[in-house]
């Protein structure tokens, strides 16, 4: 390392020497990496990660099953595939993303040449959640490495088997001054957040996101916050009922409803409400089994992650039952196995907790409506959701909702799948998130776009002082014609 490069002073934490040392090891090589981490090296390291994941597929299945009985095929589709696709897409486009790009000039700076050059932000922190612990550890890492950064990953302690596997894969794939994993609980996260990272990528709840942003502000680190909220679904009067039921059941009950972009609740037009509700019940039984025992034994249905989250969901259902909700499907629970059957409710009211809290579990409230404007008003009265889903064959109906509401993304006649589109930015707005991820958008999230302006035949010096009558006339002309 160049001896003239100065190391910034960062807070020491004598109680967490492993964390301090891991950060310092990466931080001390930031400038060297910014100068030397070239395209070929980035490609090689991403290829190495791809092979590491492919060689450990069985271990990934076993870890996620041990943590919350996640089915193997669901692991393939929602944990492994998104990361491998992110790598493939990045490798296909990284050379172009890394290029210094020319920017069109303007008359006010005529005679200059402008460029945009992406450069690595530096040392990054990735705090991953428990609901997709593999995907959301390595997905952001792909973007961080593609942009030329180093990273420390903090996986969730709530999925300890996957956390240990993530740590083992990283240890055997990367040098620690490039990527390392810090395992532990909230204390480890708090210690990490006290360090002056250049960028923090956090996935989790809005409540914790506020804490992360507050800590990041102390060192003015940039942040990407992927949060959540109550993502509403609207089924209009012209919707294909069976298609809507199929997509909503999959989006809701995959991963046992523990998905930040799962349909939280459904507004269905009164004219088709009964048919839709029965279609949802029929679809749940087709997918997971017709009897209570069949659903509990279904190999395609995972479990609530831990006792605490099970207790929270149990409380929500008990509250709804006590206040008059009608159980169309499910409601069965087994605390010894953290099992909660896929549950569909109607006759829900505003005073029920399920209408006030993000559900993040296999509970689907169905709410009837007559006037779409009342639904739009209700959506706009709440924090902006991470996703909004609309089922309708009426394009004017769809456009009206999209125009009248704000959300991180919109799915039309589908749910959740937008997460898999590599060319779409993924992220929330306000309470549901800050910043975006995936593909080129993820590359930019971990990059600083440095503006470069180079003089060629510029005449701006003619506007410099002393402000003689001639200069003043020139300045007046510039303001009048170009301002």
Q: Which residues are catalytic?
A: 226, 260
Q: How far apart are CA 402 and CA 389, in angstroms?
A: 10
Q: How far apart are CA 201 and CA 210, in angstroms?
A: 13
**Strand pairing category for 123-127 and 150-154:** parallel
**Sheet hosting strand 112-120, strand order edge to edge:** 101-103, 112-120, 447-455
User: What is the 8-class DSSP label of residue 426?
Assistant: B
Phi, psi at residue 217, to the nearest 5°? -65, -25
In degrees, rounded to 5, the angle at the alpha carbon of residue 380 between the alpha carbons of residues 253 and 352 is: 55
Q: How far apart are CA 174 and CA 178, in angstroms?
A: 6
Instruction: Please check whether residue 432 is in contact with residue 206, taking contact to mean a CB–CB distance below 8 angstroms.
Output: yes
Q: Please state the separation of Cα 327 from the chain's center in Å.
A: 32
Instruction: Please check whether residue 122 is in contact with residue 198, taking contact to mean a CB–CB distance below 8 angstroms.
Output: yes
Long-range contacts of 159-162 (CB under 8 A, 24+ apart): 159/63, 159/64, 159/67, 159/68, 159/130, 159/133, 159/305, 160/67, 161/62, 161/63, 161/64, 161/66, 161/67, 162/60, 162/63, 162/64, 162/67, 162/133, 162/134
Phi, psi at residue 463, to the nearest 5°? -100, 5
From residue 70, how far is each of 162, 187, 218, 243, 333 by CA, in Å?
11, 27, 38, 25, 18
Per the structure block, which two tokens stand in for 471? 């200069």
Q: How far apart are CA 178 and CA 331, in angstroms?
A: 47
Going 145 to 422 to 242 to 300, the CA torsion angle's sign is: negative
Long-range contacts of 140-143 (CB under 8 A, 24+ apart): 140/201, 140/203, 140/224, 140/437, 140/442, 141/49, 141/179, 142/46, 142/49, 142/83, 142/86, 142/87, 142/90, 142/442, 143/86, 143/90, 143/437, 143/438, 143/442, 143/443, 143/445, 143/446
- Classify residue 468 by burial, with Cβ atoms within 10 Å: 0-12, 13-18, 19+: exposed
């Amino acid at each position: 390392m160049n001896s003239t490069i100065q190391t910034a002073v960062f807070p020491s934490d004598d109680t967490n020497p492993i964390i301090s040392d891991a950060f310092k090891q990466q931080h001390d090589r930031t400038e060297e990496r910014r100068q030397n981490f070239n395209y070929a090296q980035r490609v090689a390291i991403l290829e190495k990660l791809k092979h590491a994941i492919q060689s450990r597929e069985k271990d990934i299945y076993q870890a996620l099953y041990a943590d919350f009985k996640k089915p193997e095929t669901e692991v393939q589709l929602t944990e492994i595939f998104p990361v491998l696709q992110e790598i493939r897409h990045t490798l296909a486009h990284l050379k172009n993303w890394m290029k210094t790009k020319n920017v069109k000039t303007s008359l006010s700076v005529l005679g200059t040449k402008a460029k945009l050059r992406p450069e690595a932000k530096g040392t990054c922190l990735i705090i991953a959640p428990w609901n997709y612990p593999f995907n959301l550890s390595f997905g952001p890492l792909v973007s961080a490495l593609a942009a030329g950064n180093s990273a420390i990953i903090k996986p969730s302690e709530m999925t300890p088997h996957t956390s240990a596997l993530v740590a083992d894969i990283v240890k055997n794939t990367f040098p620690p001054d490039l990527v390392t994993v810090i395992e532990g609980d909230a204390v480890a996260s708090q210690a990490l957040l006290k360090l002056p990272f250049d960028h923090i990528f956090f996935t989790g709840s809005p409540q914790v996101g506020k804490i992360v942003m507050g800590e990041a502000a102390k060192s003015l680190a940039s942040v990407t916050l992927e949060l959540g909220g109550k993502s509403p679904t609207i089924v209009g009067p012209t919707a294909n009922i069976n298609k809507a039921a199929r997509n909503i059941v999959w989006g809701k009950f995959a991963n046992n409803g523990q998905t930040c972009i799962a349909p939280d609740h459904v507004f269905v037009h009164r004219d088709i409400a009964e048919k839709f509700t029965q279609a949802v019940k029929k679809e749940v039984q087709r997918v997971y089994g017709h009897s209570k025992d069949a659903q509990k034994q279904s190999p395609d249905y995972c479990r609530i992650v831990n006792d605490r989250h099970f207790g929270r969901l149990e409380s929500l259902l008990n509250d709804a039952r006590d206040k008059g909700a009608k159980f169309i499907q499910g409601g069965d629970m087994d605390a010894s196995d953290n099992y909660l059957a896929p549950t569909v409710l109607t006759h829900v009211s505003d005073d029920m907790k399920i209408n006030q809290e993000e559900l993040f579990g296999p509970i689907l409230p169905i709410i009837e409506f007559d006037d779409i404007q009342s639904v739009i008003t209700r959506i706009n009265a709440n924090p902006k959701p991470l996703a909004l889903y609309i089922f309708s064959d009426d394009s004017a109906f769809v456009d009206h909702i999209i125009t009248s509401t704000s959300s991180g993304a919109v799915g039309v006649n589908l749910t959740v799948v937008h997460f898999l589109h590599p060319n779409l930015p993924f992220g929330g707005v306000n309470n549901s998130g800050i910043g975006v991820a995936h593909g080129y958008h993820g590359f930019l999230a971990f990059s600083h776009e440095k503006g470069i302006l180079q003089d060629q035949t510029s005449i701006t010096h003619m506007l410099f002082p002393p402000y003689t009558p001639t200069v003043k006339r020139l300045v007046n002309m510039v303001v009048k014609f170009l301002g």
